[in-house]
């Protein structure tokens, strides 16, 4: 196991036993998620914006329009907070006070850099496309020069990161275990449905294997 560098800002203080600092565990959560939230402040006004992302090694990439105010702010000197949360289950306790959720979350703090190099920008978009669906990059038309120019990509290093995880059954007060109330966990998971073709698939071939449930594709 490789541990992240623990800092006062990333140390889990509320229920510290749930804190996870193993880099492989952090990466696994990031690789499973699709949606992040970016927190930052401009002129004293806080913002939290949801967007897509992709991890590549020891950093995460975020991309968007060159006209995006959020990206313009984040490539300046604005510090940012990047979060990803996976919801694994609803925890139903005997007491209302002890209801909870099972989850895995990651918080990354730092300052992003703008990606200017065309090769790295293309690689970031490849990572993003394959993060959405492994193997997709090999099937699509690649970005042209105009599209690359119209896209901003930022990279946030995973230098200051931590995870927080809750798993397992509800934890009730000891006397409440004698109550005649059902308690337990309702598991939740994200499942892909059957692909719905675009009505303009006039010349498209068969459905790609990576869209067929149960078919493993390495991308």
134-149 mean pLDDT:
92
Q: What is the pLDDT of residues 69-114, one digit of tens each?
A: 788 778 767 889 999 999 999 999 999 999 999 999 999 999 999 9
Q: pLDDT tens across 145-178, in order?
A: 999 999 999 999 998 999 999 999 999 999 999 9
Query: Phi first, then psi: what are they for 181, rounded to 5°?
Result: -135, 130
Taking the C-alpha atoms of residue 210 and residue 195, their distance in angstroms, rounded to an integer, is 10
Q: What is the pLDDT of residue 94?
A: 97
DSSP string, 105-154: EEEEEE--EE---HHHHHHHHHHHHHHHSTTGGGTSPPP-HHHHHTEEEE
Separation between Cα atoms, residue 105 and residue 113, nearest integer Å? 23
Q: pTM for the whole thing?
A: 0.86
In percent, the amount of the chain with pLDDT more than 90 equals 62
Q: What is the pLDDT of residue 143?
A: 93
- 217: pLDDT strictly greater than 50: no
**Domain residues of the chain, as ranges?**
16-169
Looking at domain 16-169, its CATH architecture is Roll (2.30)
SS (H, E, C) 61-84: EEEEECCCHHHHHHCCCCCEEEEE
- 177-187 pLDDT per residue, tens: 999 999 999 99
Structural contact between residues 166 and 85, judged by C-beta atoms closer than 8 angstroms? no
**What's residue 214's pLDDT?**
58
């Amino acid at each position: 196991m490789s541990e992240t560098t623990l800092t006062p800002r990333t140390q889990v203080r509320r229920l510290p036993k749930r804190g996870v600092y193993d880099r492989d565990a952090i990466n696994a959560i990031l690789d499973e998620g699709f949606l992040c939230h970016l927190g930052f402040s401009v002129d004293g006004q806080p913002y939290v914006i949801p967007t897509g992302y992709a991890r590549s090694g020891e950093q995460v990439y975020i991309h968007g329009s060159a006209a995006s105010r959020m990206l313009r702010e984040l490539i300046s000197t604005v510090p940012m907070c990047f979060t990803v949360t996976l919801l694994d289950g609803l925890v139903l306790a005997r007491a209302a006070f002890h209801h909870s959720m099972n989850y895995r979350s990651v918080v990354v703090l730092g300052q992003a850099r703008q990606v200017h190099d065309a090769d790295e920008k293309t690689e970031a978009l490849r990572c993003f496309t394959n993060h959405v669906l492994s193997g997709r990059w090999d099937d699509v038309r690649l970005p042209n020069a105009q599209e690359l120019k119209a896209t901003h990509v930022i990279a946030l290093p995973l230098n200051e990161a931590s995870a927080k995880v809750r798993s397992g059954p509800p934890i009730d007060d000891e006397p409440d275990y004698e109550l005649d109330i059902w308690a337990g966990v309702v598991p939740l998971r994200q499942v892909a449905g059957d692909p719905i073709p675009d009505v303009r698939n006039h010349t498209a071939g068969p459905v790609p294997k990576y869209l067929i449930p149960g078919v493993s594709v390495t991308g």
